[in-house]
Structure 1
């Protein structure tokens, strides 16, 4: 009996280390918002009819800066990659591009900046129709992922009826009448996905690579400066994980009645993303239906806890 107790003790250390690694890995699960009770919500004006956003609720959102000024939004795909829109980078030199992440207020002191190493625009991007409006940014050094810096999930599901509870975030202008106001505080607005046939009727220039979303209330929309940011939704059968369904692309004005915003349809570009990231030497691999890390499933974690319990009982 004493011999068995000794063996149990010898097994505890590797199990503890494995569980610690598993727990730390869970912080990197894509599409999981974190609840930071210590962060306060500021009462300021919004996206166009939206509300202030806490970065712990949208930890994948980044700001793309050019010569120190906010240019566009983006989303974290992995520690190496940021997803954005091609139209943001017309005649832009990527050597002067940086991203800010893990913060929801641009006026915060000692912001964390990360330099962009490579900018990849879609080769078939049409700067007139804004078709194929998607871009990848490879960072010079990997992001330090954590509570306020978590990748967004992506999915190849293209049926818009499978999604619900959709939101857009950004630092774009908040007032389209009179003086244009660009906030320092991140903004959010909830939108509905619209049927492609209705969108095509309202916006004839819509292509198969686009989707549109908006609200029935006039004055709520993404706007200039929000471009490149993520349109994120929950699956109807999964309320805890967020997926990027679209990229803020264009619109006819902002917040106008019966004129929804237009977004690049991310599901149409997953093969392109996989190919380009592999070609650049930093392959991006996504999982469609997993809420746990690729190398360690939720059931495996539960099993390890059960074994720990038996060994210490």
Structure 2
């Protein structure tokens, strides 16, 4: 018993010695709130197998906890997988320790890091396995919870002075400054109220010495209605500015009108505020040694100035107007009064005592709105601006149509869209007309009589009347086609069905068109459709009952130009008779040369200047080709710059087809351009 008591006394004495060492190494001041020990089970006699310890200690706000290990003796193992001491700060693992470390080693490599954040926690986890090859004493540490000195933290944001106390800190200011509501920023008490004063001087704090930091000075000027303030800067103006940006600033805010902010060293001009109340705000940051400003203020009678509202003029016109003065406000050209149902553009306004006009009705630009456009036409932009002087442009909906004139329009002052020539859109509306004379697949060679089949996109203007009378026609727009008069003679009051977009007469997917009108040239002599004695003026116009769906397979051919060089060759096409005297199932084409009329045999029938004579080496049009096209240039040589044009219409020829000594006759389309244009205009919707 005596031995046990002596051992306990010795242990107590040892602890006191160790504590004294710790106190010497880590001074403990009056801010320490709590201290204590944490150690392994059985220390210092040694820990048993399967020993474990979990310990956690937290500090309150404004405090932190530190731990100092003074002893470490655990079983050594790879990555401390047998026995281990794990140390955490704020739930983050700092160390995983095992083996032996001296006090010096602990002091240098472990203890400096064993502390929590302010208000944080430290925790310890000690766990051993089933056996040890030798006895190990474990670990022991000393913890303290003490106050944090926030004033030593450069991020505490006190702009001047700081006072630390147990559990927190407080910012305070030097004499002449007040603590802002944020409890960190010290500001100069420099706000002044000059209400009722009609003249005086305003200066930055400490003028003419450098102004203090963190200043927010508000100077209020206010007088009775009918007066305004005039501000004049005096002497030096020096407000901090860097790289073109205001670091400190002087802001002038009148009751009416725009706010102005000044900085730098350029003296601002005198200001007539046009306001009976003005607030002047001077702001500075936490650094700088600039001198600030000095300005005088005085009052003068209130005046009104123009304009009353943007985009308007006054009558009469003066630089200033006294209170009570009445003027007529007139909106500028192309503008009308806002919220007025009628197109009013003027009203009367009176200058008020506060220097403002009343009433104030804004002038807004005339709006032409989105125009109503015909079928096939659309705007180039989806949501264009439609007000005065804005422009829009029109376009056709697809590539197979083009405008017949310029589609640029401008909104004028009367609210109308006008063309570049100045005409109203309703009087000068562009039209979308099919692009003519263009195909998408050209091929060379072949002929009609015994000719070569055409491809589907080669001759897209070719139309075909399959039933009696069998014949052809040429599409010249999305409503009109040209054919020979003798093909439709006697059918003027009959609905004929024409086929397009085919090269095979048995096609199951043709574009089918019904006729609305058939108009034969008035000078054509109706002497019998099957065997007329005169083919002069053998031309007729066909109007379809509905718009032809223009696309890659069906599109019009161009009409010839009025003045043009004589055409020497071209291409003919049709579904007419071939060598075996049967009608062709397929659309055939071939190239022909154009000859002087005198070289062509007519077998006694009259030949006129309204005809073209053409043929080639066993190339000829034949029965069933009548009304079809003779077009130039030769198929395969057309282009957007040189479109295919309808030179002739298959009309008549001597008996027999394909005889190289005989040529065919074609109606000369160039001679009928005026009749075609006038007839279409007269019979259009």
Give the alignment's TM-score, normalised by structure 1.
Answer: 0.72
The SS at the match of 2:684 is: coil
Shift of 1:22: 6.4
Residues 1:173 and 2:549 aligned together: no
- Output one character per residue of 1:102-148: Cα deviation in whole Å (capped at 9) or x when no partner: 11111111433111011111111134211000001111111000111
Q: Is the 8 A contact 1:167 1:188 kept in 2?
A: yes
Q: Which runs of 5+ in 1 are unaligned?
A: 1-10, 38-44, 283-313
| 1:277-288 matched pairs, under 5 angstroms | 277-282=680-685
Residues 1:140 and 2:542 aligned together: no
- Output one character per residue of 1:47-95: Cα deviation in whole Å (capped at 9) or x when no partner: 31321112311111001244xx562100001111010001112333543
Q: Is the 8 A contact 2:610 2:671 kept in 1?
A: yes
**Aligned pair partner of 1:246 in 634, 648, 655:** 648
Change (3 A) 1:209 1:20: closer
Q: Which structure: greater strand fraction?
A: 2
Q: Is the 8 A contact 2:504 2:587 kept in 1?
A: yes
Q: Which residue of 2 aligns with 1:256?
A: 659
Q: Which residue of 1 aligns with 2:472?
A: 73
Bigger shift: residues 127-136 or 260-269: 127-136
Shift of 1:248: 0.2
Aligned counterparts of 1:188 and 1:63: Cα–Cα separation in 2: 14
Bigger shift: residues 162-171 or 18-27: 18-27
Shift of 1:162: 3.6
**Aligned pair partner of 1:82 in 472, 478, 481:** 481
Aligned counterparts of 1:279 and 1:157: Cα–Cα separation in 2: 21
Aligned counterparts of 1:210 and 1:93: Cα–Cα separation in 2: 23
**Aligned pair partner of 1:211 in 605, 612, 617:** 612
Aligned counterparts of 1:190 and 1:163: Cα–Cα separation in 2: 13
Aligned counterparts of 1:32 and 1:163: Cα–Cα separation in 2: 18
**Aligned pair partner of 1:52 in 429, 453, 470:** 453
Q: Which residue of 2 aligns with 1:193?
A: 594
Q: Which structure: greater helix fraction?
A: 1
Q: Is the 8 A contact 2:447 2:619 kept in 1?
A: no
Aligned counterparts of 1:266 and 1:13: Cα–Cα separation in 2: 42
**Aligned pair partner of 1:28 in 427, 431, 434:** 434
Aligned counterparts of 1:24 and 1:130: Cα–Cα separation in 2: 35
Q: Is the 8 A contact 1:64 1:100 kept in 2?
A: yes
Change (3 A) 1:200 1:110: closer
Shift of 1:203: 6.9
Residues 1:113 and 2:512 aligned together: yes
Residues 1:266 and 2:266 aligned together: no
CA RMSD of aligned residues (A): 3.1
Q: How many residues align?
A: 255
Change (3 A) 1:51 1:123: same
Q: Which residue of 2 aligns with 1:285?
A: none
